[in-house]
C-alpha cells in the first residue's frame, strides 16, 4: 500500500465515494436541511410554516443557523429529521 503524499481529504473523498456506491448515507446525513434568504417578515412566516408542517415533537425541527444581512434580510437554515415522513 502506498500512503505517501496522501492527505486527509483524499481519505474522506474515498470513503464518500464508497458509501455512495453502496448506497449508505454517512451518519451525519440523517438531517434534512433547507436554507433561505428572505425579508424579515417572510422569514418569520417561513419558519412558522416549517414548524406547523413538521412539528418539533415528531421531527425535531429547529432553526439551525440564522443571521441578519445588511439589507434587513434574514439568512437561515431549517433542519428536521425525516423520521415521521
Predicted structure pTM score: 0.63
Average pLDDT over residues 49-75: 93
Query: Would the pLDDT of 19 be above 70?
Result: no
Contacts of 46 (CB under 8 A, 6+ apart): 36, 38, 78
pLDDT tens, residue by residue, 20-44: 666 555 555 688 889 999 999 999 9
Q: What is the rounded CA–CA span in Å between residue 6 and residue 25?
A: 24
Amino acid at each position: 500500500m502506498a500512503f505517501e503524499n496522501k492527505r486527509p481529504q483524499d481519505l474522506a473523498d474515498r470513503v464518500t465515494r464508497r458509501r455512495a456506491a453502496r448506497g449508505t448515507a454517512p451518519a451525519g446525513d440523517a438531517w434534512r436541511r433547507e436554507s433561505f434568504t428572505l425579508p424579515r417578515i417572510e422569514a418569520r412566516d417561513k419558519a412558522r410554516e416549517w414548524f406547523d408542517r413538521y412539528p418539533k415533537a415528531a421531527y425535531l425541527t429547529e432553526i439551525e443557523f440564522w443571521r441578519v444581512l445588511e439589507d434587513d434580510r434574514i439568512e437561515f437554515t431549517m433542519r428536521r429529521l425525516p423520521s415521521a415522513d
